[in-house]
Structure formats: C-alpha cells, structure tokens
C-alpha cells in the first residue's frame, strides 16, 4: 500500500473526471494521500476534497509563486484553515527562483511568516525549493524549526546530508524515473529509508512509462518501484516503509 505524500487532485486538470480519477487512485493501492495547497482558494479546495474522501488529507499554505499579493489577512486564513481536523501540514511554502516573479524579498518574507506559523502551531511543513537552496536553508535555520519535508527534491547528495542531519524528510517524485536524472538517482540511492517519502506532485512530473501524460496519484507505484530498484530493495517493502514514514511525519499514526 502506498502513501502519495504530495498531490494536487484539486487541480483544474481534473475538473472533467475528478471522481473517477480518485476512485482509480484508491483502487490502485494508494492508502493515503495528502493534497497540498498552493494558495488560499486552493487550500480551501484541498479541505473540501479531504472532507469528501476519507483517505485524503490536506495541507494549507501559499506557494512562493503565489505570494505576490499575499496579505496578513491571508496568513490569518491559513492559520484558521490549519485547525481543521483533516489538515495535517502547512504547505507548500518556500522559495522559487526559477521565475523572476514575485520578487525574492517578497517570497522570503512570506516563506518566513508561514514557517513561523508552522512553528507556532507545531505542525509539519512542506517545502517547495526551486533553484533557491541556500536561501531556503538560511531561513529554516533562522526560524529554527525543522519538522519539514523537502518536496520534489532536486538538490545534491551533499545538501540531502545536511537536511537529514537537521531531521528533514526527503521526498522524491517521478523525475527519478527519467533517463536524464543521474543526480536525483544518486540521491535516491543515498537517502536512508527512514528519511524517505514518495510523492507524485500530480498532475505534474508524470513518471515513466506515462511521461508526457497527465499524472495522478496512482502513479506513485512507478516512482516507488524505481527507487526500490536503485536501492536494491523489494518494492513492497519500500512502499510499506515510506507509508509508515508518511504517517509518522504527518501525525497519522
Ligand atoms: Ni506541489
């Protein structure tokens, strides 16, 4: 049984067939999924989905790309939503320097604010870090609260070592199945299983053999199988370990 620890089944790409997709996901052996918020409206949708489906939980927060117009009132809304019984984490929050917008200072400001909120509530948090490794680590250290997961990990083995030492989980998505991903495959081999989570980040990052098509949480199995192969482990055993890790991280034991 699998735990898709990071998915976006509320995405518009599922508007035509969401119920059928979620039924398929459940039947495919996904025991739990955390549907992650990327903005205020999206976080509300995450909660609605979690209320409708037993096996889906929610994370609430504002993605760095959506912090351009964020306000104190929005932060208060995140805090209120976080008290919902099916909300298990703050996220996704972080820094994304791939795009020029919003300005880096704005992203950093709201990342720090949301991280401080996670600390205040003593909730786990989900980091989105794209091309911003150094600043992400600096802010985590400044806030001094490390109950986090680095989602869709794209850093080096060296950075993974630092994060693991801090107590972080490293979450690996479908890119690990790509032919041109030697760096991520090295990371997958290196990360000790007790610090590993698996995710789809669907509808994005579709693993081989469906690369190029819309992704959904049922494909978590392909990512798990690839990581198990890289680690020389049994696929079912890895699925079970990462399921237990996910439950522990999100407080679902
Ligand atoms: Ni995501």
Q: How far is the CA of 158 from the centre of ligand 1 (A)?
A: 23
pLDDT at residue 85 is higher than 90: yes
Q: How far is the CA of 11 from the centre of ligand 1 (A)?
A: 10
Q: How far is the CA of 7 from the centre of ligand 1 (A)?
A: 6
Tens of pLDDT, residues 32-45:
999 999 999 999 99
Tens of pLDDT, residues 207-239:
999 999 999 999 999 999 999 999 999 999 999
Q: How far is the CA of 127 from the centre of ligand 1 (A)?
A: 9
Q: How far is the CA of 105 from the centre of ligand 1 (A)?
A: 21
Using DSSP's 3-state secondary structure scheme, residue 48 falls into helix
pLDDT at residue 196 is higher than 90: yes
Whole-model pTM: value is 0.97
**Rounded mean pLDDT of 88-104?**
96
Angle at 112 between CA 70 and CA 171, to 5 degrees: 100
Q: Which domains does the chain have, with CATH numbers?
A: 2-250 (3.20.20.140)
pLDDT at residue 100 is higher than 90: no
Q: How far is the CA of 8 from the centre of ligand 1 (A)?
A: 7
**Nearest CA among 61, 155, 69, 169 for reference residue 117:** 61
246 near 32, Cβ under 8 Å? yes
**Rounded mean pLDDT of 154-178?**
96
Q: At what angle do helices 72-82 and 104-121 cross, to 10 degrees?
A: 30
């Amino acid at each position: 049984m699998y735990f898709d620890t990071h998915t976006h089944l509320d995405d518009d790409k599922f508007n035509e067939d969401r119920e059928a997709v979620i039924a398929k996901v459940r039947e495919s052996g996904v025991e739990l999924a955390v549907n992650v918020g990327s903005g205020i409206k999206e976080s509300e949708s995450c909660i609605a989905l979690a209320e409708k489906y037993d096996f889906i939980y929610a994370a609430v927060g504002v993605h760095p790309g959506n912090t351009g117009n964020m306000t104190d009132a929005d932060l208060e809304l995140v805090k209120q939503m976080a008290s919902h019984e099916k909300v298990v984490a703050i996220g996704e929050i972080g820094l994304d320097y791939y795009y020029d917008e919003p300005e880096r200072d704005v992203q950093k400001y709201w990342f720090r604010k949301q991280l401080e909120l996670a600390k205040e509530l003593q909730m786990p948090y989900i980091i989105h870090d794209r091309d911003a490794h150094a600043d992400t680590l600096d802010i985590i250290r400044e806030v001094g609260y490390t109950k986090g997961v680095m989602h869709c990990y794209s850093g080096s083995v060296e950075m993974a070592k630092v994060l693991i030492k801090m107590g972080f989980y490293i979450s690996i998505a479908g890119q690990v199945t790509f032919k041109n991903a030697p760096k991520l495959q090295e990371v997958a081999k290196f990360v000790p299983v007790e610090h590993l989570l698996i995710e789809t980040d669907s509808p994005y990052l579709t693993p081989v053999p469906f690369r190029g098509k819309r992704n959904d949480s049922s494909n978590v199995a392909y990512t798990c199988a690839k990581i198990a192969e890289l680690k020389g482990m049994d696929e079912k055993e890895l699925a079970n370990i990462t399921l237990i890790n996910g439950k522990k991280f999100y407080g679902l034991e």
